[in-house]
Structure 1
Amino acid sequence: MKKFSTAAILCGGKSSRMGFDKSKLVFNDKLLIEHIAEKLNRVFDDIVFITNDKNKFNTGFRVIEDVIKDCGPIGAIYTALLNSNSQFVFVVGCDMPFINLDYIRYMKEILDTKEAECLITKKGGYFEPLCSFYSIDIKDKLKESIDKGRFKIMDTIMKCQAIYTSDEEVEKFISEVDMFANLNYKEDLEKLKYGEYFKWML
């Protein structure tokens, strides 16, 4: 099994703040998640959409339905690990379009030199669990948490052999575009129209 092959895009959020399903956002005549997938495909062989409905998308990428529904990102990550083609899965949200491939390559380098079950992005005292790597070895821990109704993903990560990026490391990859930016509100969609943001979609 390869160490790094699969990247998972989580597409099952409720999108309550946006007012419609963010995974259905279209940009330049293509689903936004397909733009994200194509960019990730430059550094991963296998891209998978994790969704609450496997019939939601008509795409050339793998679409996997949540094994356990209605428990948030922890359930989607669990599903991704069950369907991974590699030891580690990179996980990102469907509303995080400004992928920084250099940062992902750097994270891979860290995992090539350190033993870990998770590599979690940490910036400014906040965790970014949807811009992080997870080992398939934590499947059972995720399932145990889900079975107990403990859906906060960071609570389970704290029980794993996890390592974290530092502010100093992350700052090296920060540009005029925030790679951790979420498209949560309709106003956020304006970012996709401007040049400094648009180039990050290519």
Structure 2
Amino acid sequence: MAYSAIILAGGKGKRMGYREKALMAINGKPLISYVIDSLEKVVDNIIISVRDKAQGKMLDSVLPGYTYAFDEYENTGPLAGILSGLTVCRDDFCFIAACDMPFINENVIKLLFKSGENYDAAIPRREDGFLEPLHAVYKCKPMIFETEKAIRNGEKIVLAPIQKLRANYVEMQEIRKIDTNLRTFININTPEEMDIINKNV
């Protein structure tokens, strides 16, 4: 079975001072490249979801050879990027991740794909019940249907379509067996966090 991955890169980077987060460097290498390196060990196809063609052209000049998807809806948050990426996807299952997660663990992704085989989604769930929907596997057709419906209803939060899916919630104790410190979920939102990562990579 072939698998795809969607990297959500269409955010405006508000907390980063409106800089292009995907291209910000860790040790001289674009942040999104760390995500791609992990995903290429697991999936057959990578889709980069961007907000518009101008951003796509900018990223393609640095990261040529990937499929780009463009948002059809404005001011809809990550749901627009999820929908555009899933619409382009040609495989049954897709891993969705944010572009600011440089330590994604390929073996955790494999676990999620396996966990999602007989479901509409496989979503990590923390001990406090908090979900990680932007580090999860989805069956494309049901997720497209529910995401379109959520957007039509004016929803913007990622959890809106997920509530209607037949999901397998993967507990942290299973993921910790692979990634003890759960580094796979680390994401970078501020310049201060970027500085910390740069000093520790």
Question: Residues 24 and 31 of structure 1 are in contact (CA less than 8 Å); yes or no, is this contact kept in structure 2?
Answer: yes
Instruction: Decide whether aligned partners of structure 1 residues 167 and 29 sit closer, same or farther in structure 2, where only a CA change above 3 A counts.
Output: closer
Q: Secondary structure of 1:165's partner?
A: strand
* Alignment correspondent of 2:77: 72
| C-alpha deviation, 1:14, in angstroms | 2.6
Decide which of 117, 120, 124 is 1:121's aligned counterpart: 124
Greater fraction of residues in strand: 1
Q: Secondary structure at the match of 1:86?
A: coil
- Taking the aligned partners of 2:182 and 2:169, their CA distance within structure 1 comes to 22
The residue number in structure 1 matching 2:10 is: 12
Unaligned runs of 5+ residues in structure 1 are: none
Matched-pair identity in %: 28
Q: Counterparts of 2:161 and 2:124 in 1: how far apart (Å)?
A: 15
Residue 89 of structure 1, CA deviation: 0.9
The residue matched to 1:49 in structure 2 has which SS?
strand
Q: How does 1:88-107 map to 2 (within 5 A)?
A: 88-107=93-112
How far off is 1:177 after superposition? 6.0
Q: Which has the higher helix share?
A: 2
Deviation at 1:67, TM superposition (A): 2.5
1:55 matched residue in structure 2: 57
Q: Which runs of 4+ in 1 moved over 6 A?
A: none
Counterpart residue number, 1:150: 155
Distance 1:168 1:35, change over 3 A: closer
CA distance in 1: counterparts of 2:67 and 2:119, whole angstroms:
27
Using the TM superposition, give the Cα deviation of residue 11 of structure 1 relative to its aligned residue in structure 2, in angstroms: 0.5
**Which moves more between the two structures, 43-52 or 175-184?**
175-184
Q: CA deviation digits over 1:153-197, x for unaligned, max 9?
A: 212111111111113212213334622111111121122332xxx
